[in-house]
Amino acid sequence: MLLPSLPTAALLALALQSGVNAATTSDGKSKKPVEPCTITSSSGSFYDLRALSAERVAEGKKATKGARTEDWHSKGYDYNANFTLNFCAPVVDQVSDVIGIHDKARWGNVSAYYQQHGKIYSIGQQSSNLTLRGKRLVLQYDNGSPCESPESTKRATIDQDAATFAEDAPVRHKSTLISFHCEKDPVAQQAAPSFIGTPDGCAYFFEIRSAHACGGAEPTKQGVGPGAVFAIIGVIAILVYFLGGVFYQRNVAHARGWRQLPNYSMWASAGNFIKDMFIIATSSCASIVPRRRGYSALSISANGNSSGRGGRNSRDDENRLIDQLDEEWDD
């Protein structure tokens, strides 16, 4: 009887599953969504910066195990201000009265800021969209406080005839551009953002070196665990084995009843073996259990006399029974 082996059935099941997955991903709407603060390059390198993001912990709750809970800081040096920022998330510090941002709801979404002369300036709202520009991995924050430079905020022209002013340029807002570089040195110090500079007081540039900025293989995610996958493959293989065997025995060997099962003689022998073992086991258990003797059970000694307690009474009863039978016979 030719039946597909279990490895062949398993490979067939995996091939069918791969075909379904390929058909699903061919549709643009069926592709899995991109996780925030992650990106995959055209060459297949996967970047995940979520470990660099500081977590804001609500009052009364505990932080995620291993998560950072403090903002990142960078010295401004000649800029005369230090910077506080976070990656792919708002800063942990609660900021308020942010210059140029009148909507209080946006204060809790500031991802980078600096403080100067007692005032807080936002240099970008939260964003988790990473971008690859060649081999450069960058993250950009926009819509910060209005730029203070007159050249970048507005430009006024004087109408000599009407002697009026007209604005011909929109107000610009501060922004931040962060460049991430791969750090493979295991003895390097802890990653820290470095302030590169700002050419116009409106756009701010930082860079950070970290092992998390090194591209790697994307971790595979399955809807079910490895154990469940092997269980499904095993069930499919068993079904193929039994259904294929029944089909062969019924249509080729013309078997009927239980003999339609593949390798019926082997399964029957296994059943008989299990039954015999059960009988042996139950018999062994029954021999161990003590038996209760009945009233008429007597042990006879070698000389013909009954032994045990009450032996004499038993012999008298037998004699009376014999005499009674003799009288009935004579009658």
CA distance 146 to 201: 10
Beta-carbon count within 10 A of 30 CB: 10
pLDDT digits (tens, 9 = 90+) for 132-147: 998 889 999 999 999 9
Q: What is the DSSP string of 225-280?
A: -HHHHHHHHHHHHHHHHHHHHHHHHHHTS---GGGGSTTHHHHHHHHHHHHHHHHH
* Residue 280 dihedral angles phi and psi, to the nearest 5°: -65, -40
What secondary structure letter does DSSP report for 53?
A: S
pLDDT > 70 fraction of the chain, expressed in percent and rounded: 68
CATH code for the part of the protein at 33-56+68-213: 2.70.130.10
Cβ-Cβ contacts under 8 Å for 106 (sequence gap 6 or more)? 98, 125
pLDDT band, very low/low/confident/very high, at 267 (cuts 50, 70, 90):
confident
Widest CA span of the chain, in angstroms? 167
The pLDDT tens digits for 78-129 are 999 999 999 999 999 989 999 999 999 999 999 999 999 999 999 999 999 9
Residue 160 scores a pLDDT above 50 = no
pTM metric for this prediction: 0.56
Q: Let me know the angle formed at the C-alpha of 24 by 18 and 27, rounded to the nearest 5 degrees.
A: 140
**Whether the predicted pLDDT of 319 surpasses 50:** yes
Mean pLDDT value across residues 38-61: 90
Domain residue spans of the chain: 33-56+68-213, 226-279
Higher confidence at residue 43 or residue 269? 43
